[in-house]
Structure 1
Amino acid sequence: MQVLAKFGYAYAAFLLFASLVGAGNLVWCFPALLLLLTAGVCLKRLRNHTLYWCVLSAAVLALASFFLYTLFVYRPVAELDGKTAELRASVEDITDWGSYKSYELSVSDVDGTPVRPFGVLLYSWNDDGGITYGDRITVRASLSLNEPAEGTVLSDYYKSHGLFLSTDTVEQTVVEPGAAYNLVSAVRGFRDVLIDALYDAMPADRADVVSGMLLGGTTNLDDAQKVTFSRAGVNHLFSVSGLHLSVVVQLLMVLLSFFRIGKRGSAVAGIVAVLGFMALSGFTASVMRSGIMMLLLLFGLLVRRHSSGLNSLGLACLFLSLSNPYIMYDVGFLLSVSATLGILLFQGPLHWRLCRRLDITSRLGKELASLFTVSVSAVAGTLPVTVLAFEEVSLVGLVLNPVVNAFVTIVMLFGFVTAFLGFIPLLAPAAMVSGAVCSWAVNAIARGAELAVKLPFAYIPVGGRSVKIGFLVVLVITGVCCLFRRRRKKLLLTVVPVSLLFVVLMAGANRYVTDHSLTVTTVCTGDSSAVLIESGGVNIVYGTDDTSTGTALRRLLMGKGIRAVDLYIQPGTGRRPNRVTERLNAIVPVRRLALDVQNIVTRSVTASVPEEDMLPLTDISLEYPDGTELRVIGVEDPVLEITRNGRRVLVALDVKSTLEVQGGSALDLTVAQTATCNPGRSAAKEVLLLTPTEENDPGDERIAAVYQSYTTVRRFPDWEAAGA
């Protein structure tokens, strides 16, 4: 492997480390780097060690670039959070969500002062049909900092794409038409036409999946579909990979072969096709990674040189990491790189050993074995990213992926054919035929994923911090054991089962504590919060109407392995349905829904919850088989009274709530946070209930509602006291 490729891998690894620890904590890393630099200069053994200096220089450059980018690019933009400013920007992309549109703006001027370009998301519920790609737009808007799209550090789509701010409150808008011809606008307009051709040739729900598989992204999928594909272990289908570009290049090669064009001419045409596909896909990080590797392969054919996969991947990582220090926040890029690296490192040895052990000699048998080993290698490569970025790890994906890959090829082939045939009106009938084949293949993949996730142990939750650490420790120990060549097999056979048993015991201990105690977990984003109450297997959710908090709440439930919510208390008295409740119920079924009477009468509630399972907030008193008793008191700011094992705990969402209880005495309920939540870091918090008793009783009685609970969101406000 070339030195430049090694430098690329090291640079990407330290950039990932910087993304995990945050720019504020990198100050403590620079003295360690200085110490390593001194050791390299003083020790003769390290002075001429090429790999040592390669890794050390990559570490210094990666940490410094991340720190400086945060200091001089991100923080000045973040200071606009909560302010109203006049922005002058150009329209880069438009997404139609049905009831509203979102515009990606590249801002070049703030309040008349030129700035370094940064991204802003503008949400509009009005009919802005006059705005198109490339237009110059001047708006005066109230800005807010974007929360992580999925509630975790490694799933911050907005930050990885430079979309630091968003707004949906615009006071005035001035639109200036862009240039008569804009190449970027033309490419994105052509992309929209191809996507429309897919929707004309097949049902809308299937076209949603096909468009995501062809061009990458899960924008058009609903939450239930996203979770199903993730639990089935096939969510990588929506990240553009070498498979996509291989289908594009192979289709072009077949067409060019009819005209008897040689390999060099076909390589040049393939380079043009790859660049065009990258433009259609929006030059996302995963597209760029696979595109660079394919371009290096085609360039090798052009100059008659062999291209190494490991070298190509290292160079792609280096190029993309240098161009965007925040690229490690893009989980699609991480999955793409880790899956490719796993295939390059493990697929060859696994395939050779499998064919040798099973005595596979036929060509068909080797192809089938290759499908299985590629799947296992990709899953092994993506396992660290999956554990860190997601709350669940799929086990059924090992078996499902080899089967799905055959259908994926059909979807890619007929999907591209359908899109381009549908672009020509005279060929619309042919597009309908190819669209029917493509729709059949997509239906097979979707049904297979739905059936697979229903199997026992199809996926396991890894939301607990101890479980995540345990998994990572197992991976590190396994990697260290692989370095010992002589005793590798014995070490792996001993260490791996013991380590896995340790992880299982840790998860079991966490589950036992949860089932035999009363645990209150707070989830907060910005000024909104939600609460999960676990009492002996009974799960109660004090809900929210904030989308970001709802996403974090959903991830918390998934990470804890909670399959159903016994009681969900929906806040608010509005007439519109609560979208957060609907999205949660699609993934984690809600058995009983408590809400205001007005919502039940007007039927402005979640359609998927039967009316007989809806309870008015005015009168709720439930008893569960394990002895847990629950009362809900109040409507506008309801308070929960939970009695378990003779102990009574009162939980309120607002900072301070006064209740009239039996006997006429008043209880002032305050929930205090014993640890400050620092922005940019997840924090452990102990939630205590302070219940001042009657005046003649001395002191305050403190009831510990939870020993420690970990939040799953990344950014918190500084709390002195907050509702739980």
Structure 2
Amino acid sequence: MKRPLALVGFTYLLTQAVSVFLGGTAGFLLGAACLLLGLLLLLPRCSAAGKSRVLAAAAFTAAAACLLGGLARLPLTQAAQQNVGKTVTLTGVVTEEPDFSTGKAQYTLRVETCGGKTDSTLCGKKIRFTAGEDFSAEQFDRVTGTVRLFAPTAAGFFSKKNRLLAEGVVLEGYLYDFRPFTAEAAQPSLWQEVPYRIRQSLLEQFSLHLPSPEDSLVSGVLVGERQAIPDAVNQAFRSAGISHLLSVSGLHMATVAQMLLLLLALLPLPRRVRHLLACGGVLLFMGITCFVPSVLRSGIMYLVLLCGNCFYRKADGLNLLGLSMLLLCLANPYAAADLSLQLSFAATLGLLLCTGPLERWFRQRVGVRGVRRRLLHLLFGTAATSLSATLFTLPVSLLVFDELSLVSPLANLLVLTPSGWMIYAGFGAAFTGPFPVLHNVSTLLWQVTAALARWLIDSAAWCASLPFASVPTGYRFVQLWLACTLLLLGVGCLLCRRHRRLPLRLTAALSAVLFLLNLLVYETGANALKITVAASGEGVSAVVSYAGRGVVIGFGADSWQTERILRRCGVAKLDTAVVLSLSNRECQQAAAVLTDWHADHVILPGGTVLDGALEQALSHVGSCTVAGTQAQVSLWQRSVLLTFANGAAHLQAEGLSVLFCGEDADLADAPAGLLNAQVLVCGDLPKREEMLQTALTVLCRYPNSLKSYAESRRGLPSVLGGGQDLVLQPQSGAVRIRRND
């Protein structure tokens, strides 16, 4: 067994993922089966005893992953089951900086008392709650308030529930800010306070010495502060396939570790002392970045590497990766369900397995010498790194994300090396600034940092603007094609054992044929009229698409969700956009979409003052109608009729009648046609909803909308918010309903 740690770590990670997917009872049964298999593999004594021991070690590791992980998950499961749906008074400490990425303040609280008791199953666990503008708290504050608890959505393996459990959060909730609450500063421990103070000092220096948005980018890359990064920059990095630069991970940890070793090499210290001090520097950097999961993963890996070098042990890459995965999975029974961990694991595995062979292939075929050879080797090495990571993360990306960047290799070629220089320059400027004798050096380093940050922003924006920079992949046939491709690859590996050669070319050719066949079948119905309702969990947002044309009704979902549906439906031209309400959230999301898509016509509700962001975005549209009581639009040769009145939009298309209701919709004076709709789509039930006799109700706001919903009168609703959009496709007087495309 040449790489025992790799075998144990990889097996533990994969088995824990399967165990989390199967659930409690099935996971324990799988663990018992693996334990029995391991015992059976130890019985035979034959010439293949070495292989039997390897398989037995893998089986015992799998059994440990199922059984130990299942036992560790029981307290979390019990805490969630016993407290879900309750309204309780909690006291606890805020463990992280508030998160404003969803437009609402979200706080992570480690519970100390529940209902005034310290022996509750929830004590010692984390919850994540939202709060209104009247509530404000910072990291390490002690909070007391009344919170309504609910379970996060649990649809699929990559569900919000599993993602939160991977972060140690058992339940979500919302704070009753109309009831008494307190938020008092608590004294953190010394090991928490020192990194926090250094982090705040660094953020202040970045804001003081760098222009915007360069300061926000440097804050995100160097210390993991992503809250202030503008949405446009986030979207450009995501479209260019380099969003991994915005979260502190292995690349940043490697740069920091190398920087520490280079600085310590200038001091007359023994080798072991330098590596021990570098370990302390890595731990400090992990604290500065708030010990987020991506930093923990890469930090553990580099701590193991530095400790190995300290004791003159050469670390094997696969063993190192396996040990890191084993430690993380042992510490967290839901670690394998963390999407970022899976992506990091796949990318690192790709780098270890593919980068070396690709570089050797390049050296054998490039005959130039000198500077040109070194320059070509640098460029090809960067491209090989990007291709290796992209190839191994492709299966997870296709299953989770709805788009694939085609310019990622080019973008990484442009930004990987400059991003490392920016980290060196940024930290150098921050730590030389306090010394007056180094003022000129610090000023120069700040200028270099700003220039490199501007280069990263401009490079990402340019790559994202290229034609076909990213393509939508949120189609159902993509998952089928991926499963078939992995099956073909597995068959190829079995054939490889006999023929000693993996048939990669044949596998790739068959995979391409399968993809083209799936694409051909999908394209036969791609131009049909369909209505896609975003699974936002927040509010109504729907896209009506037909032959490359589109209409957006409502902007209750995040702007990226609406734009994702537009791309997935192949919409090249946005004809009309209907804003159902002028709430702050809907106006902001509408402004983001309209700025990018330039609708020909926009319909707004009347009677209120426009939000500033939306008013500015209206300069990008063709025309605008403010509907006092009613507006009507005919689309696509009158095959679609859209009526707007009192915060509700009524769509009639090919015999299907759908009513979309915004936050302030009132059906009191609605036209008769609106009241005869077959399908109701809403966040919360509208005023005078008893006037409707719809056959199907779609609730977009989860779970608040269920509180006022009467199943006895309206029947069972279709509840969105689990990550899968709802598609309604009219077909000859009937309607076909499905999830996603």
SS in 2 for 1:273: helix
CA contact (8 A) 1:577 1:606 kept: no
Provide closer, same or farther for how the CA distance between residues 661 and 257 of structure 1 changes in structure 2, counting only shifts above 3 A.
Answer: closer
How far off is 1:261 after superposition? 2.4
1:304 maps to a residue whose letter is Y
Q: After TM superposition, give the deviation of residue 491 of structure 1 in Å.
A: 3.1
CA deviations 1:371-414 (Å, max 9, x no partner) are 22222111112212211221111121122212221211221111
1:169 matches 2:158: no
Q: Is 1:62 aligned with 2:70?
A: no
TM-score under structure 1 normalisation?
Answer: 0.83
Q: Which residue of 2 aligns with 1:592?
A: 601
The answer to whether the 8 Å contact 2:405/2:469 transfers is yes
1:633 Cα deviation (Å)?
4.3
> What's the counterpart of residue 572 of structure 1?
581
1:521 alignment partner in structure 2 = 532
Q: Which amino acid letter does the alignment assign opposite residue 369 of structure 1?
A: F
1:463 match: 474
**What SS does the corresponding residue of 2:580 show, helix, strand or coil?**
coil
Matching of residues 182-581 of structure 1 within 5 Å: 182-216=190-224, 218-359=226-367, 362-422=373-433, 430-478=441-489, 480-481=491-492, 484=496, 491-515=503-527, 517-524=528-535, 526=537, 528-545=539-556, 552-562=561-571, 565-572=574-581, 574=583, 578-581=587-590
Q: Does residue 614 of the first structure (1) align with residue 615 of the second (2)?
A: no
Q: Compared with structure 1, are the counterparts of its residues 80 and 580 closer, same or farther at alpha carbon in structure 2 (3 Å cutoff)?
A: farther
Cα distance in 2, alignment partners of residues 371 and 341 from structure 1: 16
Shift of 1:165: 2.0
Using the TM superposition, name which of 80-89 and 387-396 deviates more.
Answer: 80-89
Residue equivalent to 1:631: 642
| Structure-2 separation of matches of 1:603 and 1:660 | 35
Instruction: Verify the 8 A CA contact 1:641 1:649 in the aligned structure 2.
Output: yes
> What's the counterpart of residue 112 of structure 1?
116
Residues of 2 paired with 1:675 and 1:125: CA distance?
31
2:550–2:566 CA contact under 8 A, matched in 1: no
Distance 1:605 1:416, change over 3 A: same
C-alpha deviation, 1:276, in angstroms: 1.0
Aligned-pair CA distance for 1:526: 5.0
Q: 2: distance between equivalents of 1:411 and 1:400?
A: 16
Shift of 1:605: 3.5
**Offset at residue 660 of structure 1 (A):** 2.1
Counterpart Cα distance in 1 of 2:435 and 2:447: 17
Structure 1, unaligned runs of 5 or more: 690-700, 712-724
- Cα deviation, 1:7-53, whole Å, max 9, x if unaligned, reads 11111112233445666875785686588568657877798712322
Query: How many Å separate the matches in 1 of 2:106 and 2:451?
Result: 32
Residue 4 of structure 1 aligns to a residue whose secondary structure is helix
8 Å Cα contact 1:148/1:158 also seen in 2: no
Secondary structure at the counterpart of residue 545 of structure 1? coil
Query: Residues 74-120 of structure 1: CA distance to partner in whole angstroms, max 9, x if unpaired?
Result: 45236544432111112323348599865432112211232442223
Q: Residue 313 of structure 1: CA displacement?
A: 0.5
Count of residue pairs brought into register by the alignment: 691
Relative to structure 1, the CA distance from residue 457 to residue 411 in structure 2 (aligned partners, 3 Å threshold; closer, same or farther) is same
* Bigger mean CA offset, 469-478 vs 98-107: 98-107
Q: Which runs of 5 or more residues in structure 2 are unaligned?
A: 678-690, 699-714
- The residue type equivalent to 2:321 in the other structure is L
> Where does residue 680 of structure 2 map in the other structure?
none
Alignment check: 8 A CA contact 1:103 1:121 kept: yes
Q: State the Cα distance separating 1:632 from its structure 2 match.
A: 1.4
The 1:491–1:591 alpha-carbon spacing in structure 2 relative to 1, beyond 3 Å, is farther
Contact 2:529 2:729 in 1 (8 A): no
Question: Which has the larger displacement, 21-30 or 347-356?
Answer: 21-30
CA distance in 2 between partners of 1:614 and 1:280 (Å): 48
Within the candidate set 670, 673, 683, 2:695 is matched to 670
Q: Which residue of 1 aligns with 2:682?
A: none
Contact 1:632 1:639 in 2 (8 A): yes
CA shift, 1:422, in A, is: 4.2
Higher relative contact order (CA 8 A, sep 6+): 1
* Corresponding residue for residue 704 of structure 1: 734
1:703 Cα shift?
A: 3.4
Q: Secondary structure at the match of 1:641?
A: strand
Closer, same or farther: CA 42–134 of 1 in aligned 2, 3 Å:
same
Query: Which is further off, 145-154 or 496-505?
Result: 145-154
Map 1:131-142 to 2 at 5 A.
Answer: 133-142=139-148
Corresponding position of 1:49: 52
Deviates more, 1:71-80 or 1:403-412: 71-80
Give distance in 2, aligned partners of 1:429 and 1:247.
24
Cross-structure match for 1:693: none
Aligned residues of 2:93 and 2:141 also touching (Cα < 8 A)? yes
1:363, CA displacement in angstroms? 4.0
Residues 242, 408 of structure 2: 8 Å contact kept: yes
User: How far apart in 2 are the matches of 1:454 and 1:427?
Assistant: 41
Aligned to 1:697: none
Return closer, same or farther for 1:108/1:552 CA change in 2, 3 Å cut-off.
Answer: farther
- Report the residue type matching 1:491 in the other structure: P
Percent identity for Structure 1 against Structure 2: 24
TM superposition shift of 1:205: 1.1
477-486 or 448-457, larger mean C-alpha shift: 477-486
Deviates more, 1:457-466 or 1:326-335: 326-335
CA contact (8 A) 1:671 1:687 kept: no
Q: TM-score, normalised by structure 2?
A: 0.81
Deviates more, 1:8-17 or 1:95-104: 95-104
Is the Cα–Cα contact under 8 Å of residues 214 and 240 in structure 1 kept in the other structure?
yes
Q: Is the 8 A contact 2:6 2:318 kept in 1?
A: yes
2:683 aligns with none
Change (3 A) 1:556 1:425: farther
CA shift, 1:311, in A, is: 0.5
- In structure 2, C-alpha distance between the alignment counterparts of 1:661 and 1:677, rounded to whole Å: 23
Greater shift, 405-414 or 12-21, is seen at 12-21
User: What are the superposed Cα offsets for residues 254-296 of structure 1, whole Å, 9 maximum, x if unpaired?
Assistant: 3333333232221121111111111111222221222222122
Q: Distance in 1 between matches of 2:631 and 2:441?
A: 60
Say which is worse superposed, 187-196 or 352-361, in terms of deviation. 352-361
Query: Offset of 1:416 from its aligned partner?
Result: 1.3
In structure 2, what residue type is equivalent to 1:2? R
Distance verdict in 2 for CA 1:296–1:571, change over 3 Å: same
Q: 1:358 to 1:627 in 2, by over 3 A?
A: farther
Cα 1:431/1:140, change in 2 over 3 Å:
farther
Query: Would you say the 8 A contact 1:5–1:312 is kept in 2?
Result: yes
